[in-house]
Amino acid sequence: MLVDFQESEKDTVVECELCVIGAGPAGITIAREFQESDVRVCLVESGGLEADEKTQALCEGQNIGLPYFPLDHTRLRYFGGTTNHWAGQCAPLMKMDFEFRPWVPFSGWPITKSDLDLYYEKAIPIAHLGRNVFDERAWSFFDLEPPQFLQKKITHHFWQRSKNPIQEPEVMPLYYTPLRFGHIYKDELKNAENITVLLNANVTELSTGHKGQSVTHLNVSTLDGRHGRIKAKKFVLACGALENARLLLISNQANRQGIGNENDLVGRFFMEHPTTRCGILVGADEDAILEVYKMRFSEGMRYRPGMAMSEDVQIEEGCLNAACTFDPEEETHPGLKAARQIFHSMKEMKLPNNLTGHVWSILRDLGQISDYAFCRFKGNVYCSHVMHLYVRMEQAPTPDSRLMLSSERDALGLQRVNLDWRLKDIQRRTAKAMMKCLGSEFGRLKIGRIQLADWLQEDRDPEWDGSYHHMGTTRMSDDPKTGVVDPDCRVHGVHNLYIAGSSVFPTSGFVNPTFTIVALALRLADHLKSQLS
């Protein structure tokens, strides 16, 4: 059932066996796994069923490291969590992503990919994906010949886009809407007798016993000043990598450093997926290339191919896992721009402003215009386009990249966060190795040549972008000295507190995190079932 905590009695106390904090993909997946069981579950969500400015403002924080997006833009704080604005791109991490690599300090998961394979399989219908194929084999779904890269250099990799079974034509009529977890699974959770979804309930503290070895209850508040408590046998934090760490740090009654932070690890190792343009493809048939690498459909599901750096190259070059996609951008020649403006104005049966200026621009740019016209005449689509090579890579884990509590407070009186995002030189080295690999393979296969971006030519750092992916702040490790949670996702030293979501990732691979978040949530749900039965 759905309960709005704003309408509850004063000082309400909710009791259950399992309390899951955060109704995003991880929280919803865990709660769904307990449908029709004897376990009473309380799924606590800070927001309501729709976005709300005041609740969203609780996510605000400051960036004090590399330039990054405003923190309240990168996640959403209402039922369904950040899947309310995700692109739906899914793929599993690769085998090597889980392994220790001597050239990547702090790499290695305490579990292997085979420990997750079964859960990836189970996550497919939950994320509404197609077949469980994300590698070269996916080419067989389409009637085309991909470039035959040397496998020891470049391998093909596919993302799938989760499909929303309930399209939202009023929102984006021509767009393939990704799955919104809140939208799709709301009714199931509402109808489940053993599950209570508590909306507009903000957890303000995880209260532990005297020694801090177990969580006794949660303190919750609404923005209009109601307070309450939630008692449970087991608690799962599933609020995303920033809020998970923040809540552990804020909950410092028993231990000044916060929960699970005896070794000063909570909030450290923050990772993103650094992305940037690394060069352009020159001398190539853009249309032919994009025909191969465009987003395409098979059995109604959407697939997008990319080029990934092979394990051999990562080992040889001592670099990170990375992938490259094409990012065509139309060149804005002044003559072409002017011609288009005249064309659009004439379609509306009127003359454009500054007609003389436009005509002059066209006359001065006749060479480009005739090239463009000839290219279009030949039936090509991507004329006058620059083919950027867009690289996304894993971030090398480093304790210096971290979030900390700030002195500023939010509307609930809780300390906000400062994010100090930092990157190591290996990121630049990885981009360089990726371009070298692609450059040699594009040349060998006569696809074209690569012109490196200025920053790579000058051997300086680019302006890295993130991908709205937050990971690593409560990393998983066998050893409490190197991780916050154990391989079962239980906080070291706290017997009834678990963490779900990408904050437990020790390394990130280059793929989008949500599919792995769901797989790990399923694995955690299995563990909790065995504990609660």
Partner 1 sequence: MTRRQFVFVATLMATVGWAKASFWKRRFEEVLLGDPTQEGVTMDLRNSLNGIFSNAEAPRLLGERYLNDYPDGRTGSLALAEYLRQTGVPTSEGVKRMLAQKCESDFYRGDLVSIDGVLLARTEAEACALTILL
Binding site for partner 1 (CB under 8 A): 150, 153, 279, 282, 435-437, 439-441, 443-444, 449-454, 456-457
Between 18 and 435, whose beta carbon lies closer to partner 1? 435
CB of 150 to partner 1, least distance (A): 7
CB of 465 to partner 1, least distance (A): 21
Q: 216 Cβ partners below 8 Å, 6+ apart?
A: 207, 208, 209, 231
Between 54 and 444, whose beta carbon lies closer to partner 1? 444
CB of 458 to partner 1, least distance (A): 9
Structure tokens at 47: 């927001």
Report yes or no: 469 and 273 within 8 Å, Cβ to Cβ.
Answer: yes
Question: Which one, of 159, 145, 167, lies nearest residue 302 by Cα?
Answer: 159
Query: Alpha-carbon distance 306 to 157, whole Å?
Result: 5
Query: Alpha-carbon distance 111 to 119, whole Å?
Result: 13
CB of 443 to partner 1, least distance (A): 4
Between 153 and 246, whose beta carbon lies closer to partner 1? 153
Residue 29 DSSP label: H
Between 278 and 497, whose beta carbon lies closer to partner 1? 278
Q: What SS3 class is residue 107?
A: coil
CB of 313 to partner 1, least distance (A): 9
Between 263 and 440, whose beta carbon lies closer to partner 1? 440
CB of 449 to partner 1, least distance (A): 6
Task: Looking at 410-480, list the stretches that DSSP marks H as alpha helix, in order from N- to C-terminal side.
Answer: 426-444, 454-457
Between 150 and 532, whose beta carbon lies closer to partner 1? 150
Pairing of strands 402-409, 415-420: antiparallel
Which stretch of DSSP H or E encloses residue 358?
Answer: helix 355-364
Rg (CA), the chain: 25
For 305-347, the DSSP string reads EEEEE-HHHHHHHT---EEEEEEEEE---HHHHHHHHHHHHHH
CB of 442 to partner 1, least distance (A): 8
CB of 255 to partner 1, least distance (A): 53
Between 279 and 306, whose beta carbon lies closer to partner 1? 279
Query: Alpha-carbon distance 218 to 222, whole Å?
Result: 13
Between 72 and 371, whose beta carbon lies closer to partner 1? 371
Burial, 253: exposed, middle or buried (Cβ in 10 Å; 0-12, 13-18, 19+)?
middle
Count the neighbouring beta carbons within 10 Å of the beta carbon of residue 423. 19
Between 17 and 317, whose beta carbon lies closer to partner 1? 317
CB of 109 to partner 1, least distance (A): 31
